[in-house]
Amino acid sequence: MTSTKICPQKVGDSELPWREAGLRYNSYSQFLRGFFGQRVQKVSIDAGFTCPNVDGTVAIGGCTFCDNRSFSPSRRIPRQQILDQINDGISRLKRRYRCDQFTAYFQPATNTYAPVDRLRSVYETALTHPKIVSMAIGTRPDCVPDDVIDLLSEVAERTYLSVELGLQTIHDRSMDWMNRGHYYDDFVDAMERCHNRGFEICVHVIIGLPGETHDDIMETARAVAQFPIDSVKLHNLYVVKKTALADQYTSGEVELMGRDEYVRTVVDFLELLPPQMLVERVSGDAPGDYFLGPSWCLDKPDILRALQHELESRDTWQGKLVS
């Protein structure tokens, strides 16, 4: 665990090292490697939380696209104690990567959706692990009341903290389709209250939502570009089993975006983002046991090659259209 207080809002404001290195977007993995001096991998942790659109507080059934088991390794096995989850996750990651520093990633469900005392206990437990150098907390914009933000600010005094707010889109009609149980105004309120509290703010966006045109997606991109945030995760819409979206997909009601269109759209999106904004992810997928489509998103190296080719062939980069 690092004892250095992080001020993520200052990251990259001066020299744009990613451009100096010949890259075409501000990759989060490269930033972490530079910040910590080595590769840092995320260890998924399941703290047993639920969501307000699952337990009936704002809706029932969860998000249209969501089966938390498909997003998180920790929810595909019987839940262990937090430190045991970290140890097992580190063991798995070390078999794939050369790494010795890790992020405690509270990933499945809504990880600020509990009383502050319980949240503090959960976060503090993860921070006691000697290999944990940072923390990421996935949550919803309607689940960060002021007392929780105060706690997050306390955590950020002790370690690098990223708080991931699931926006997905700025269009309320798409929020209704997703059964999110909140709207764009809720996100704006949460973002403004989290701003300048000492932790990184990361925003999730889904590209390829049913009914959204290219112009709709670019409206979301322009809005994200104006947000006082630090990073963004871009995901293609993909389908996992036992979800409402799975039924819509198998019936032909929903069509998924193809790889080439997705890559072109991501590049269009990146061109509108400020060059200081970190890009944490450019696509998403799920394990084969849960996955239905599209098949192209399972080949991440191919997506990255296609993205790089599109950037180079258009001679463009993140922020090119930012005035």
Residue 323's pLDDT is: 76
Q: Is the pLDDT of residue 247 over 50?
A: yes
Residue 67's pLDDT is: 77
Give residue 251's pLDDT band: very low, low, confident or very high (50, 70, 90).
very high
Q: Where are the beta strands (DSSP E) in 169-322?
A: 200-207, 231-236, 239-240, 278-281, 291-293
pTM for this predicted structure: 0.91
Q: How many residues does the chain have?
A: 323
Give residue 286's pLDDT band: very low, low, confident or very high (50, 70, 90).
confident
Q: In the chain, how long is the greatest CA-to-CA distance? A: 53
16-75: pLDDT as tens digits? 888 888 899 999 999 999 999 999 999 999 999 999 999 999 988 889 998 756 444 544
Q: d(Cα 172, Cα 283) in Å, to the nearest integer?
A: 23
Give residue 287's pLDDT band: very low, low, confident or very high (50, 70, 90).
confident
Residue 13's pLDDT is: 45
Q: Is the pLDDT of residue 285 over 60?
A: yes
Q: Is the pLDDT of residue 113 over 70?
A: yes
Q: Is the pLDDT of residue 213 over 50?
A: yes
118-165: pLDDT as tens digits? 999 999 999 999 999 999 999 999 999 999 999 999 999 999 999 999
Report residue 124: phi and psi, to 5°: -60, -40
Residue 81's pLDDT is: 94
Mean pLDDT of 170-190: 96
Residue 60's pLDDT is: 87
Give residue 10's pLDDT band: very low, low, confident or very high (50, 70, 90).
very low
Select 8-313's CATH number: 3.40.50.300, 3.20.20.70, 3.40.50.720, 3.30.499.10: 3.20.20.70
Domain range list for the chain:
8-313
The answer to whether the CB of 276 falls within 8 A of the CB of 15 is no
User: How high does pLDDT run on average in the chain?
Assistant: 91
